[in-house]
Amino acid sequence: MWDEEYEVVIIGSGFAGLAAAIEARKRCDKVIVLEKMPVPGGNSSICGGLVAAAGSPLQVENGIEDSPELMLADMLAAGQGLNYPELARMVAERAMETLRWTIEELDVKYQPTLSWVGGHSVPRVYNTWNASGSGIIKPMLAKCREMD
């Protein structure tokens, strides 16, 4: 019988689960992440490692005009009306904050150029140094271990 108690129990060790664990650990002492697979990271480890953010430093540096409103419009158009508009708005408005968090708190390394991928009307996509989600997952795991 499992009899340990935790303040926060997180299911899954992908981007969302590890981000939740890092933020929860700042506020709670007893946090656990449960993962069904033998290694952490899930599909996040093997994705392309792309992060779209409007108004990023690389956009400013390259004279690319963008805004959360334009990113939202692109997301809604690409979603063909099937998006949840309020959730899409939250993503568009907080993407830059998330990108900064990965750089400043996790020390994620990105390539020095932006990508222009389908559905976006301007280049706004950061690529991890290794073009893989593992470029984000590994620093997230390191942060979790550091906080333990």
**What is the pLDDT, as a whole number, of residue 12?**
97
pTM confidence score: 0.91
- Six-digit token pair at 6? 């935790």
8 A C-beta contact, residue 41 and residue 134 = yes
Q: Which string of DSSP letters, residue by residue, matches 124-144?
A: -EEEBTTSSTHHHHHHHHHHH
pLDDT band at 6 (very low <50, low <70, confident <90, very high): very high
What are residue 32's phi and psi, to 5 degrees? -135, 145
**What is the pLDDT, as a whole number, of residue 91?**
97
Positions of E strands within the chain? 8-11, 31-34, 50-52, 125-127
**What is the pLDDT, as a whole number, of residue 2?**
75
- Six-digit token pair at 4? 């340990």
SS3 call for 115: strand
8 A C-beta contact, residue 49 and residue 131 = yes
- Six-digit token pair at 43? 């599909």
Q: pLDDT (tens digit, 9 = 90+) per residue, 11-44?
A: 999 999 999 999 999 999 999 999 999 999 999 9
8 A C-beta contact, residue 75 and residue 81 = no
